[in-house]
Structure 1
Amino acid sequence: MMDELRFRVISHLAVLYPKQAEETRALFADTLIHAMGIGDDVKPLTQYQNHWDQQDVYVITYGDTLLSPGVKPLSCLHQFLNKHLAGTINSVHILPFFPYSSDDGFSVIDYMEVNEALGDWHDIESIAADFKLMADLVINHCSAESRWFKNYLSGVKPGHNYFVEASPADDLSDVVRPRTSPLLKKVVTNEGEKHIWCTFSHDQVDLNFENPDLLLEFVKIIKWYLDSGIAVFRLDAVAFIWKVVGTTSLNLPETHEIVRLLRTLIEARKSDAVIITETNIPNRENLSYFGNANEAHVVYNFSLPPLLINALVTGCSHYLKNWLMSMPPAQMGTTYFNFIASHDGIGLRPAEGLLSDEEIQQLLDTMMAFGGEVSWRALDNGENKPYEINISLFDALKGTVNGEDEWQVERFVCAHLIMLALEGTPAIYIHSLLATGNDYERIKRTGHNRSINRHQWDYAELEKHLNSSSSIHHKVFNRLKRMIDIRVKQPAFHPNAIQYTLHLGDGVFAFWRQSLRRDQSIFAINNITDQPQDIPLTSINLVGTDEWVDLITGTRYHDLHGSLLLAPYQSVWLTNKSEY
């Protein structure tokens, strides 16, 4: 099996570094395999294995979302997870927990250290022992304050030739950017003045993977993470990592090849480890990171947040249904990562081609009326275009295009019931679990729009809310936990279970899931409007020989010629097998 592994690694390197001599390439393959800690006992490389099932639900959080005097934030987070979520949620994504200089962790100073303000590697290992742990591999860029970049300026290793240089005279007009800041940053090195490529900000300097030494550095970093208990690797901003002047420098063939190479090495080291690509780009491009089931195990369903929120505030499922029908079922060994809120905003690029310009503008207007902000990206014609909406999900769903109303909680819960039922693995942002609203004070302190949805809770204050039956945080938290507890027992909610879209009118968003063994069906039927919906059961094609029950309310439906009356924003999970 080692020979097969070497052959595959060499094949990847031939695409990335075609000018390398064959002997050099073979030696470098051996160096990478050794750096990953892969021994001669490597197991056969297999595809199409699912490393997940219906029990997998993630919570997404920063390491310092919960604060308690005298307690390291990671330890506080671990306490919260064990006390409130153990047995309900089995996986956690802790956003970058490394020393950083900006962007709330995504400008990494040292990939091998835990930010001492959060805790240490023991805290990470302790959480990984109790929960499946996802961590970020911030692979496109690092901090301008990192040792690598300081070494680059001085012309010494490690760091020399680790960064992408370009000239202001180069044709960079086609480069796709998610920001409005200038692409190039002028710096003074020991070799004179240079211009460094900065896709995101001038504190986040882009890394140069044309240098094999840098690739080796990241393989060593990945091994360290694996040894620390990290099982899921989120490749942050991976779509941008390979640059070629005169192109978009987005989704280039070499980028996909690096993902394939990392997957080969990671799987050889730990067969059930998982790669997830974070590619906030239009839907078709996003799906390309599945490759032929040989790139990402999991891709983010980036189109889901804007389309689902749009459906709930307009009361029309037309665009959401069209998108769902167009989504290919994930092959075995791959799946979707479903989310509707995260530490970032509601991305608008993934809605391009799915929502009309008028629909997007209406969504923007509605979100701004609910206290949201808008972040922008630069176009090659010098204009700016909305890139994302910055708002907490709880406030995003406080009303419709007609204004605020009394259905905020029901609409909010409905959104999560839809996400929990869809094909793929669900992930819930901690501030959605806690029904956290817009944090305007944090925006004032940081000056960044994304801070609106990055509130930091005093843990004692949060506990008071969660223990108070009259608190909105208690009500939402416990309702969502109950729904998750139901969800994780249903084989028809396996991430790869069959899914078909149902057509029950634009005021209803509905789909059918069937377990891999085909012994359980669940019809997830959701009223996405503020008006009751009456649905004839005959339109759902329920099998007459089965007994049907709603998993959420326990209501049984004996007369299949009757109707299903849904209150505003009510969801039902109608199943023929509820004894799981």
Structure 2
Amino acid sequence: MAGAAELAAATGTAGAAGDVLAGVHLLAYTDRLGGDLAGMRRLLTTGPLDRFSGVHLLPFFTPFDGDDAGFDPVDHGTVDPCLGTWADVRALADDGLALTADLIVNHVSARSREFTDWLAHGTASPWDGMFLTYDRVFPHGGTEADITRIYRPRGGLPFTPYQQADGTRRLVWTTFLPSQVDLDVDHPVAREYLRRIMRTLAAAGVRIVRLDAVGYAVKTPGTDSFVTPETLRFVREAVAMAHEEGLVVLVEVHAHVSQQQAVAELVDLVYDFALPPLLLHAMGTGRIGPLVEWLEVRPRNTITVLDTHDGIGVVDAGPGAGRPGLLDEEEMAALFARAAELTGGASDRMSQRVAWTRVPHQIASTFLSVLGGDATALVLARAVQVFLPGLPQVYYVGLLGGLNDVPQYERTGQGREANRHRYTAEELRDALTTEVARAQLALVALRTEHPAFAGEHSVEVLDEHRIVLHWTAGEHRVRLIADFTPGRPQLRVAATTPEGTVEATSVAELAAWDAVAAWR
């Protein structure tokens, strides 16, 4: 397998847009890391995070601090003035950073002008048809089996009653929160809304658009309405729309690996959400078999992650869609149990159950917390991520070695808030001086700058606990030996150029690379 060049070819983005797939991208909330867009620009261009080649700015629309941390836009087409303007977004792009932004395709806020106008004027509203109502999906009524079959990332049913100004009562689909009203993505009014947002993002210099929660976007009677053939049809159509606007498309779907593989064939980029639970499984058991199995079949057009703003996705490695998983039910249960033990029970309290399932589909926690604060284990996991084909994306809390912000969870009642810490300027300065952050920044610089990552990738299994990841481009070589021996995680990173070879075998040694760029 090859590096960025093959990834660009695999995604169909070779040439003018191929540069968006190079290096390593940062994933961050603007306000929680940089304060505002100008602050993010300073960090990424002249500050300590200038090693990153791109950034995914989590929702910065109006309001960025709504009921779901920006994923409930009242106005998806404007930048929240507390953060800046579209000119500030454009400035990041003009500085050479590859920008990713969210296109929230499943819903908008119940406070949006479109929804409030529809409530006020009904069929006379220009937005009539934009919102999905119960009768659009079940015109002849739905049976108990029809309704309880629906897959939902929350407990309860996905409907909320709303009353229009003339007294008409409507059941509106609300897949996530009652204040997040679902779009009827097959209606022309909703399609034109989505196209308008795509054009706005492209005009501001956004290169990659993430179709957020697209797996839930199409509701089909008689199915679970999650990543169905009808969903895949909509994905194809949304990708075509985005390509017309010059955008590269990333799709976010937490699902069985077979469903991920099906989606990967239709889009430019998908997340490798199976990687984090497989790494946690290897850390906890020492067994690398499931990880090796996945490395042999995983899609090439992936963005690799550890934790994200939603926590740690785990459902992707387990059984589902009537098929066995990379991990079986017992192994998945053990994964959750280890996380709960190492977080003092916090991850179990904070992780939200999906309707009709026994376990969460995500662990609400930072990655370092579910590793019991073991910095070597975190840097080992990050090194594996950085050494895999695909585009590595590093979440700001993980980069800074963040532990669970339990007080923030307790204040908000939202489990995912534990992994969304708001860094003050002083906290950020202190975090960036730690060895765990500097070691990860050294890995980011290595992946971004070393010529070997433009070459060929290979995997070697040494024994039941150890795996070797190689990249080679002529005389330029890099190698990672990842040792998952239970209780004794270890790593050895070697980087070779025509001038010689340097090695790091600990977090401290990698952190020193960050200071002196030893491998150059």
Among 106, 126, 131, the residue aligned to 1:163: 131
Name the aligned partner's letter for residue 74 of structure 1.
Answer: L
Matched residue, 1:19: none
Seen in structure 2, the aligned counterparts of structure 1 residues 166 and 378 have a Cα distance that, compared at 3 Å, is: same
Name the aligned partner's letter for residue 398 of structure 1.
Answer: G
Query: Aligned-pair distance for 1:415?
Result: 0.9
Partner of 1:59, secondary structure, is: strand
Q: How does 1:103-502 map to 2 (within 5 A)?
A: 103-130=68-95, 131-154=97-120, 155=122, 156-166=124-134, 169-170=141-142, 171-189=146-164, 190=166, 192-270=168-246, 273-291=247-265, 295-328=266-299, 330=300, 335-352=301-318, 353-371=325-343, 372-374=346-348, 375-379=351-355, 382=356, 384-398=358-372, 408-466=374-432, 473-494=433-454, 498-502=456-460
Name the aligned partner's letter for residue 481 of structure 2.
Answer: I
Deviations 1:385-409 (A, max 9, x none): 322111111222236xxxxxxxx12
Query: Aligned-pair distance for 1:383?
Result: 5.2
Give the TM-score of the pair, scaled to structure 2: 0.83
Q: Larger Rg: 1 or 2?
A: 1
**CA RMSD of superposed structures (Å):** 2.9
Q: Is 1:80 equivalent to 2:43 in the alignment? A: yes
Seen in structure 2, the aligned counterparts of structure 1 residues 502 and 74 have a Cα distance that, compared at 3 Å, is: same
Query: Aligned-pair distance for 1:513?
Result: 3.6
Query: Aligned-pair distance for 1:427?
Result: 0.5
Among 52, 55, 63, the residue aligned to 1:89: 52
Query: Aligned-pair distance for 1:298?
Result: 0.7
Seen in structure 2, the aligned counterparts of structure 1 residues 54 and 524 have a Cα distance that, compared at 3 Å, is: farther
- Whether contact under 8 Å (1:179, 1:377) holds in the other structure is yes
Seen in structure 2, the aligned counterparts of structure 1 residues 305 and 507 have a Cα distance that, compared at 3 Å, is: same
CA distance in 2, matches of 1:212, 1:88: 42
Matched positions, count: 473
Query: Aligned-pair distance for 1:214?
Result: 1.2
- Whether contact under 8 Å (1:137, 1:235) holds in the other structure is yes
Name the aligned partner's letter for residue 501 of structure 1.
Answer: V
Query: Aligned-pair distance for 1:348?
Result: 2.3
CA distance in 1, matches of 2:188, 2:491: 62
Query: Aligned-pair distance for 1:120?
Result: 2.1
Name the aligned partner's letter for residue 526 of structure 1.
Answer: A
Seen in structure 2, the aligned counterparts of structure 1 residues 248 and 410 have a Cα distance that, compared at 3 Å, is: same
Unaligned runs of 5+ in 2: 1-10, 319-324, 511-517
Query: Aligned-pair distance for 1:146?
Result: 1.1
Among 462, 466, 469, the residue aligned to 1:508: 466
Query: Aligned-pair distance for 1:106?
Result: 0.7
Q: Is 1:527 equivalent to 2:483 in the alignment? A: yes
CA distance in 2, matches of 1:133, 1:244: 34
Identity of aligned residues (%): 28
CA distance in 1, matches of 2:228, 2:217: 9
Deviations 1:302-343 (A, max 9, x none): 111111122123332122112212325x2xxxx210010111
- Whether contact under 8 Å (1:526, 1:570) holds in the other structure is no
Query: Aligned-pair distance for 1:53?
Result: 7.5
Deviations 1:42-71 (A, max 9, x none): xxxx9463614874211100011136xxxx
Give the TM-score of the pair, scaled to structure 1: 0.75
Which piece of structure 1 moves more, 385-394 or 84-93?
A: 84-93
